[in-house]
Structure 1
């Protein structure tokens, strides 16, 4: 006589209430991870490996902060902590493409763009690096030059002020008079694709 089949036992996640193997498709997978690592490690071996790697990194960081290298335990000479800290700093500054992230220079860049062969827009970038509130600056520029001015996101996702019309002739004097923190030596114009100092 054939043996009676046993019912399938389903392990439900207490966080998202889905079966454990479907947690990754649920809304709170990040919150489910600790429970999954503890209760269902066979379903997500990558999570367990990730957690073990993080633990190992934490331990090595603690050892380095004390001054002991993780390789120094087996009797070899411990590495100098200063060398490891500079390597860490380099890692932080690297971007996904391998490029090193540069700190933003404190400079105001003014660029004139001609649209539709007649209309002109003057873009002012970098005032915020001097602590100037861009919304206030756009109002002042609009009032001074009797034109439209607005804060927009530029091509690099940084905010800039777009002013209607060609105001490049008077803008340097206006910026240095209105915001004394902005030195004239930090103001540049973009001419023929090159950055030219205004001073």
Structure 2
């Protein structure tokens, strides 16, 4: 008589509850990394290498700090370049700082109707709720705050108001320079000036 087949034992991540080979596709890969390094180092050798590099960097930093505190001159300590903290996105991509600019785009829907979207007013310290009210009153249309495709809030104004909106923005909010306002035309960013 043949032996019974044994059930397959599958290892699951204790953080995201996915099999370890699928952790990188989950939403909390950064949180899974310590667990993966400890329990499945053969699946992600790059993580193990990164962890070793981080540990050596920490040791070097501790040694440098101990040299500074033990009486090494401040001039020598300040001559070393300071590393800027950079925000990293999943996949190792570096997050760029937002440029202070306002982007105005006209989106046509249903062949006749159009919506004008205004992105970036909040970067100049403008409250979007107040701005949408002012835009709605000025152009006698509906205006609302919505989340755009990049998860940033933008103002959607009904109708084609792109012809007057630059003047209105610069008059209403004097902190906004006219050179920081751009239109999206045919997929290209064009200065409004």
**TM-score normalised over the length of structure 1:** 0.61
Larger Rg: 1 or 2? 1
Aligned with residue 161 of structure 2, among 167, 170, 185: 167
- CA separation in 2, counterparts of 1:114 and 1:58? 54
What are the within-5 Å matches in structure 2 for residues 22-61 of structure 1? 46=38, 59-61=59-61
Deviation of 1:55 (Å):
7.9
Deviation of 1:118 (Å):
1.2
Deviation of 1:182 (Å):
0.3
Q: Deviations over 1:46-85 (max 9, x none)?
A: 39xx9x98887655432233458xxxxxxxxxxx9836x4
Deviation of 1:102 (Å):
1.4
Counterpart in the other structure of 1:112? 106
What are the within-5 Å matches in structure 2 for residues 34-183 of structure 1? 46=38, 59-67=59-67, 82=80, 85-86=82-83, 89=84, 92-183=86-177
Deviation of 1:133 (Å):
0.3
Note the aligned Cα RMSD (angstroms).
3.4
Gaps of 5+ in 2: 1-13, 16-36, 40-47, 69-77
- CA separation in 2, counterparts of 1:167 and 1:152? 18
- CA separation in 2, counterparts of 1:103 and 1:92? 10
**TM-score normalised over the length of structure 2:** 0.63
Specify the SS of the correspondent of 1:92: coil
CA 1:66/1:81 → structure 2, altered by over 3 Å: closer, same or farther?
farther
Q: Deviations over 1:137-172 (max 9, x none)?
A: 000000000000001100000000000000000000
CA 1:163/1:60 → structure 2, altered by over 3 Å: closer, same or farther?
same
Number of aligned residue pairs: 145
| Segment drifting more, 94-103 vs 122-131 | 94-103
Q: Deviations over 1:17-74 (max 9, x none)?
A: xxxxxxx58xxxxxxxxxxxxxxxxxxx939xx9x98887655432233458xxxxxx
